[in-house]
Chains A and B, each alone.
Chain A
Amino acid sequence: MTSLPATTNKKLGLVIDLDTCVGCHACVIACKEWNTGGYGNALSDQQPYGANPSGSFLNRIHTFEVVPEDGQVIDQSTEARVVHFPKSCLHCEDAPCVTVCPTGASYKRQEDGIVLVDENKCMGCGLCAWSCAYGAREMDLAAGVMKKCTLCVDRIYNDSLLEIDRIPSCVRTCPAGARHFGDLGDPNSDISKLVEERGGFDLMPEQGNSPTNKYLPPRNRESLAATLPQDEAETTKDITKTADGFFGWVDKTLTKLGSENNQGES
């Protein structure tokens, strides 16, 4: 049934700490490994050892660079920072991927809010992937059915696993502790408190999907100048001011040569 439940008893989901993630892709591999042998068809690869390898993954890590508008530039350093960005299904409350599904394969569970695909019903039309702004669904080209994060539904309720392992594979694996799992519908859960404390946010709120998963912003950093000893900080805005002696001479000469060259060309 691809109409959404009005409410769900729990809102199980992930919280991703963008400050802590080191971009090691361990969760990507752990996810692929667990889900290729778990729920539904295997996660296939196409030409894994060929010239054009590709395959389906349920979790991918993008890496972004953020450059502050009036960021300082000191010597060769800028205040640009790198943010590793894990991305998987956000188990949206207003999941468009569920309502667009014509076959009833995509559904959101009333008991815990997990969004799943019943692979026995999916006809591989791909419309759900079109409706997801986050790129969280990938068609498996071998099985011809849609694949997405299951929140490791076959681990978290699995009594045959040790209790410590009854969390999603990505969370269990993350060596940096950047991934957290819990009930975001319960304001007293550890994970909800974490979101509260760190100002967790939604991805693309303007798309109107009300994602369950939250992201924790990178912590503020000191400005570059503030990290330098006081007297240095005054003079370091421009590299040439700090260069003296031999390097000062090189800098001046090259600057002069450069400007002569430019004149010659024009």
Chain B
Amino acid sequence: MHPAYSVIVFTTFSGTGYGLAALLGLGFIDPSMMSVKAGYFLALALISIGLLSSTLHLANPKNAIRAFSQWRSSWLSREGVLAILTYVPITILAFLSIFMDSSIGWLGIVAAVLAMLTVFSTSMIYGSLRTISLWNTWLTPASYLAFSIASGAVVLNVLVAVFEGNSGNIPQYALLVLVAAWLIKWFWNRRQSEGYGKSSMETATGLGHLGKVRLLERPHMMANYLTREMGFRVARKHASMLWNITIVLALIIPAVSLALAFAMQGSMTAVLLSVIAALCHLIGMLVERWLFFAKAKHAVSLYYGDEALDAA
């Protein structure tokens, strides 16, 4: 699948924002602290940048308002509705924290639940597509949710470290969710070998009973919407190199930095390490999201002779 930058930015930014908002809402940290005030502000900013970015890939944005109407059947619509709903508790909590140094326990829980439901809906847009076997698994929502929390935790850690000078044992918890998220992602990634799932050129054409099917001539000489949108694939060599880069940036460097930050808590080095962990993690997550799309094969490729699309 073609990795559209707007969608990559949207899923990573808003995922991080919702994760951060959920952790703040659950009230682990005193709402009067500067880091919580900044955290709410940052969460709202990340969510808003993400949502705005997601409208950039619409070919006809003037009808975007209608996207709230079909929540009965469409995950994309549900995501839209939930995203707007989630603004309500998060904005109230942000107001309470920033201006009154306080919070409301149950509202925080509502915010956290809504935030996670929004992320879940985003992931189900992809996870529910039968045409893309790589995505069509419960591991897709699981990894989106886990990464949302992990990114939120890494960012929360850096906020507390910078504003309060000491993030205590937050790095420890951030490290834990980060590793858990990558464990899920690792299982997800193994599904790549399944290719098109049960579909093949033989089932696509229904000619399997006659023999082995190959494309003799494609229907059009130049690229079209379908080949541009669904046919995108990185050369295998690049995919595995990018995968390694992601693991280094979004797992290894943050994990090591967090572990060291925990060991040296209270020091200036720990603050610096927390910053490094967050920056590398977020850049790595953008690459991870890029690969999420780039690696995915769409069943329609079977009508184009599968491998032939590499050239398109």
Contacts and interface: CB of A to CB of B under 8 A. Distances in A.
A125 B64 CA distance: 9
Contact of B67 (A28, A80, A103): A103
B76 A102 contact: yes
Contacts of B58: 123-125, 144
B63 A122 contact: yes
Interface string A76-102: 000011110101000000001011111
Contacts of A68: 210-212
B74 A131 contact: no
**Contact count band on B:** 35 or more
- List of 3 A-B pairs having minimum Cβ-Cβ separation, nearest first: A124-B59, A144-B59, A102-B77
Contact of A133 (B77, B130, B215): B130
Interface in A25-79: 28, 52-57, 60-69, 71
Interface stretch (A175-183, A201-209, A225-233, A240-248): A201-209
Nearest to A126: B229
A139 B227 CA distance: 12
A246 to B, nearest CB: 35
A104 B64 CA distance: 11
B211 A60 contact: no
Given A83-B205, A103-B67, A132-B300, A123 B61 contact: yes
Contacts of B128: 100
Interface in A91-140: 96, 98-105, 120-127, 129-135, 138-139
A8 interface: no
Contacts of B130: 96, 131, 133, 207-208
A79 to B, nearest CB: 8
Given A3-B72, A203-B206, A204-B203, A55 B211 contact: no
B207 interface: yes
Contact of A135 (B68, B205, B222, B303): B303
B183 interface: no
A145 interface: yes
A203 B201 CA distance: 10
A185 interface: no
Contacts of A28: 219
Most buried by B among A28, A103, A202, A203: A103
B207 A129 contact: no
Interface in A185-236: 201-208, 215, 217-218
Contacts of B72: 2-3
Given A102-B76, A104-B66, A144 B60 contact: yes
B224 A103 contact: no
Contacts of A1: 70
A130 B226 contact: no
Contacts of A206: 197-199, 203
B63 A54 contact: no
B205 A85 contact: yes
B219 A201 contact: no
Given A102-B77, A127-B76, A54 B222 contact: yes
B267 interface: no
A129 B224 contact: no
Task: Provide the main secondary structure of the chain A interface.
Answer: loop
Interface string B122-152: 0001001111100000000000000000000
A68 B63 CA distance: 50
A60 B221 CA distance: 12
A153 interface: no
A123 B211 contact: no
Contacts of A120: 63
Interface string A139-167: 10101110000000000000000000000
A61 B215 CA distance: 11
B216 A202 contact: no
A67 B211 CA distance: 5
9 contacts: A54-B220, A54-B224, A64-B216, A121-B63, A123-B58, A129-B229, A130-B229, A134-B303, A138-B224
B213 interface: yes
A54 B203 CA distance: 28
Contact of B225 (A138, A201, A207): A138
A103 B59 contact: no
B225 A141 contact: yes
B230 interface: yes
Interface string B172-193: 0000000000000000000000
Interface in B28-66: 57-64, 66
A63 B206 CA distance: 13
A144 to B, nearest CB: 4
